């Protein structure tokens, strides 16, 4: 497994278990994401998972559905403080070095 995939798996695990305010949006290849993630993580994120229904990668009502798009919009109301908190915690507990944000 590539180091970037390991990092991604750890980040998603953290978000799935520690951050109930996070919604996951998969725009392409949901089967590949399911294959990459551990079964417990995939199950944990199901109630907060939006999967794009076609090949377009735009967030629109046609692609996601009205309810899912509204849910995604509420989710994207994220502040810089929340981003810094999530990344700060994760980077502190990983092997990443020299990261500036």
pLDDT in tens, 1-18: 888 888 889 999 999 999
Lowest mean pLDDT among 3-7, 21-25, 32-36, 73-77: 73-77
pLDDT band at 101 (very low <50, low <70, confident <90, very high): very low
Rounded CA separation 55/78 (Å): 26
Q: What is the pLDDT of residues 34-57, one digit of tens each?
A: 999 999 999 999 998 888 777 766
Residues 6+ apart with CB under 8 A from 17: 41, 44
Rounded CA separation 33/43 (Å): 12
Task: Name the percent of the chain in helix, strand, coil, to the closest 5.
Answer: 60, 5, 35
């Amino acid at each position: 497994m590539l180091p970037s995939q390991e990092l991604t798996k750890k980040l998603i695990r953290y978000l799935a278990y520690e951050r109930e305010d996070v919604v996951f949006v998969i725009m392409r290849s949901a089967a590949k994401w399911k294959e990459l993630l551990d079964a417990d993580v995939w199950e944990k994120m199901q109630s907060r998972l939006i999967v794009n229904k076609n090949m377009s990668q735009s967030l629109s009502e046609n692609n996601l559905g009205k309810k899912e798009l509204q849910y995604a919009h509420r989710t994207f109301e994220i502040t810089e403080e929340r981003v810094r908190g999530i990344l700060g915690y994760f980077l502190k507990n990983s092997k990443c070095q020299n990261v500036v944000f």
